[in-house]
Amino acid sequence: MSIHVAGIIGLVVVFIVGTLRPINLGALALMMMFVHGTIFGQSVQDMYRGFPVDLFVLLAGVTYLFGVASNNGTLTRMVEGMARLVGDRRALIPWTLFIIAALPTMAGALTATSVALLAPLSLRLARRYDIAPHMMGLMVAHGAMCGNYSPLNAVGAVVHQALASNGLQISSGALFLANLAYNVGLGVIIYLVFGRVRFARREPGHRAPEVELEATVTRSPTSPPVAQVCTLLTIVGVAIAALAFELNMGFLAFGAAALLHLVFPASSREAEKKIAWGVVLLVCGVVTYVGALQRYGTIDVVGQSIAGVNPPLLAALLICAVGATTSAVASTLGILGAMTPLAVPLINRGEISLTGLVIALAISSTVVDSTPFSTAGAVAVASAEDDERSRVYRGLLIWGAAMVVTAPLVTWLIFIVAAG
């Protein structure tokens, strides 16, 4: 059995066992990677190379910072302010956050950064307004994805550079607008599927959110106003530094949380326990294994095999499917960088539209970022309250699986078949 076949089988086994039994997928993935690597002569040092340090720091740092903000009442105050602005117009909350999430990515921020800044606030608003938490997580995630291919965003730059290195180019405006329209359409579907019934009714005796929030803040005896003001200013500072100066969001969050914990030890007590270690293990374990498959060349082998498939329309669909499937559990930038060149031989056959195939592949590889194994989805799951985390995880897992199946087919039909 080849290393590539064994690797794919191992990944399938991990997901099947992890789905059927109550065990962390990340732990299974790390164990399977070790067995797989040992059989095929990989050193432990090589296995470590695929560990996503940046993702680990981001997840742990953001949940630590907002753990401090939660403990000292700052996050509750932020939700209270938003609730007063919204009033009883709770049906507008998901779309408001959808739009707000899109702005940073259109200005150049990565999707994960935008989601990390908004997920904690959005999920607590969902709790106060009786909105499905996974719906809010998805609205924020797909709102952020709207800006993925703006002329200022690094995700679009990866695609254009990969094409340029092969002497090809497409319209940046066409790619951006197609992705924007697709994610807005997904936002409408999310809103209708998860929110229509809830927004159409009002629970009898439902208290105004601001009353609940004020009661929560009042019950926090270790939350001095100074600590809350400093925490709010610190979060704003982290956001500005990450968005405007492109500094690492994870390290900024870690540093900010540690500083607040040092200055206000009483109100920050045990905030580190709110780091979502289960989510960190889940995501980092799966991504490490998939990183090993990329390092072995498994993804490239699959892509190259598909490029020669006939007819070309079928090959185009399969390439989009591989991009969606692998990106759902791996680095989107890495997959786009690898898959775009693999589509070039198919494009050079002259039977498939260059623009259509690139748009279909690009969208298929990014809308799956809402899965719990991708950065944006993982941040949303990690930001959920302990009692809601499993529900958010399941919601994003089901939706992400739907994206893996539908995005390649729908984009293929719209941008390749219909446009060709």
The predicted-structure confidence for 160-180, as pLDDT tens digits, reads as follows 888 888 788 889 899 999 999
Is the pLDDT confidence value at 202 over 70?
no
Decide if pLDDT at 219 tops 70: no
Question: String of b and e for 191-210 (b: at least 16 CB within 10 Å)?
Answer: beebbeebbeeeeeeeeebb
Residue-level pLDDT at 279: 86
CB within 8 A of 271, min separation 6: which ones?
Answer: 64, 67, 68, 70, 71, 257, 261
| Mean pLDDT, residues 63-88 | 81
Residue given tokens 């229509």 in the structure block: 196
Helix (H) or strand (E) holding 101: helix 93-106
Structure confidence at residue 218 (pLDDT): 37
| pLDDT value at residue 220 | 45
Place 184 in a pLDDT band, splitting at 50, 70 and 90.
very high
Of residues 347 and 148, more confidence is placed in 148
Amino acid 366: pLDDT: 94
What is the distance between the alpha carbons of residues 97 and 418, in angstroms, rounded to a whole number? Answer: 33
Residue type, 223: S
Report pLDDT for 224. 64
Which tokens is 331 given? 């680095």
**pLDDT, tens digit (0-9, with 9 covering 90-100), for 323-344:** 899 888 877 877 888 788 877 7
Q: What is the pLDDT of residues 356-381, one digit of tens each?
A: 999 999 999 999 999 998 888 999 99
The owner of tokens 């056959």 is 349
Most confidently predicted of 3-17, 38-52, 405-419: 405-419
Cα dist. 356→360, 416, 417, 419 in Å?
A: 6, 5, 9, 7
With tokens 């994805």, the residue in question is 145
Under the banding of pLDDT at 50, 70 and 90, the label for residue 20 is: confident
pTM: 0.81
pLDDT, tens digit, 9 for 90 and up, residues 8-19: 888 888 888 877
Q: How confident is the model at residue 73 (pLDDT cuts 50, 70, 90)?
A: confident
The predicted pLDDT at position 207 comes to: 45
The pLDDT score that the predictor gives to residue 338 is 75
CA distance 346 to 344: 5
Q: What is the pLDDT of residue 204?
A: 39
Q: Specify whether the backbone of 130 is left (phi greater than 0), alpha (psi in -120 to 50) or beta.
A: left
Question: What residue ranges do the domains of the chain occupy?
Answer: 1-49, 50-418
What percentage of the chain exceeds 90 in pLDDT?
A: 26
| Furthest-apart CA atoms within the chain: distance in Å | 69
Hey, how many other C-beta atoms are within 10 angstroms of the C-beta on 401? 13
Over residues 28-48, the mean pLDDT reads 88
In this predicted structure, what is the pLDDT of residue 76? 79
Distance CA 394, CA 122 (A): 18
Quick check: 51 and 18 in contact, CB under 8 A?
no
pLDDT category of residue 221 using cuts at 50, 70 and 90? very low
